[in-house]
């Protein structure tokens, strides 16, 4: 079985541009969460989606948005990129959106803003 | 707001040693705690999940304990190997929400 897959693995963008990151959860998992990990820090929560609805939002500006599709895959969009958006973006999937189920993470997308 | 702290930030041990990584959290109203491993520039690999009602979980050479009332968890690694070298992150999920709160991790180096 495939794990959580993210694309692309690496990305270089210029300040002010827009970026779209993609995530496919483990088959059968209906919840997808997004995290941002700046170098040397722990991941910070951005969004959680379950059954195509937003179930949680972290303390990130409105330049960050996301959505979940009927097949439970998800996109994270970031507009008007800033240098500070450079980070590893991680996607996590779990069976349900709340409760004691285990979360599994993808390999991440390394975004560099220049 | 939940805060998760991991001590030490970095640890270097000779191969074969047993070691303990520490994680503390400020709000004991957690749903569960999960330990992850992260290799440089890579994603997170789940190691152990402990529900709030459990005291410990074991997988191979790894044993994680949870003391919810004192806000602490430990990850015990037995007979360390060079392949164990990585950053270890602990994360808690609160009862009232569904997001993970992560610590900043412990960077482990096992010297052959």
User: What is chain A's pLDDT, residue by residue, as a tens digit (114 residues)?
Assistant: 579 999 999 999 999 999 999 999 999 999 999 999 999 899 999 999 988 999 889 999 999 999 999 999 999 999 999 999 999 999 999 887 666 678 899 999 999 999
Q: What is the pLDDT along chain B (112 residues), one digit of tens a residue?
A: 899 999 999 999 999 999 999 999 999 888 899 999 999 989 999 999 999 999 999 999 999 999 999 999 999 999 999 999 999 999 999 865 678 999 999 999 999 9
Give the C-alpha distances (Å, rounded to integers) separating A34 from A50, A103, B12, B51: 12, 12, 31, 22
Contact yes or no for B102 and A104 at CB 8 A: no
DSSP SS3 for A85: helix
Residues of A in contact with B59 (CB under 8 A): none
Q: Mention every residue, 6+ apart, whose C-beta is less than 8 A from residue A97.
A: A30, A31, A48, A49, A50, A51, A55, A56, B98
Contact yes or no for A100 and B104 at CB 8 A: no
Q: What share of chain B is helix, strand, coil (3-state, %, to 5)?
A: 5, 60, 40
What's the pLDDT tens digit per position in A54-82? 988 999 999 999 999 999 999 999 999 99
Contact yes or no for B104 and A42 at CB 8 A: yes
């Amino acid at each position: 079985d495939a794990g959580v897959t993210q694309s692309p693995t690496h990305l270089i963008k210029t300040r002010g541009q827009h970026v779209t990151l993609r995530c496919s959860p483990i088959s059968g998992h209906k919840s997808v969460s997004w995290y941002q990990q700046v170098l040397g820090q722990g991941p910070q929560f951005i969004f959680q989606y379950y059954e195509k609805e937003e179930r949680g939002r972290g303390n990130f500006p409105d330049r960050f948005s996301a959505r979940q599709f009927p097949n439970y895959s998800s996109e994270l969009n970031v507009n008007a990129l800033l240098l500070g958006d450079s980070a590893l973006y991680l996607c996590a999937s779990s069976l349900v959106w709340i409760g004691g189920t285990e979360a599994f993470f993808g390999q991440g997308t390394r975004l560099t803003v220049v | 707001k939940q805060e998760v702290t991991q001590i030490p930030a970095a640890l270097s041990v000779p191969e074969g040693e047993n070691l303990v990584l520490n994680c503390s959290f400020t709000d004991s109203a957690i749903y569960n705690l999960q330990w992850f491993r992260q290799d440089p520039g890579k994603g997170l690999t789940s190691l152990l999940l402990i529900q709030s009602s459990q005291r410990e979980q074991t997988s191979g050479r790894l044993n994680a304990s949870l003391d919810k009332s004192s806000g602490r968890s430990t990850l015990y690694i037995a007979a360390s190997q060079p392949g164990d070298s990585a950053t270890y992150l602990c994360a808690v999920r609160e009862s009232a929400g569904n997001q993970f709160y992560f610590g900043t991790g412990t960077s482990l180096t096992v010297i052959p």
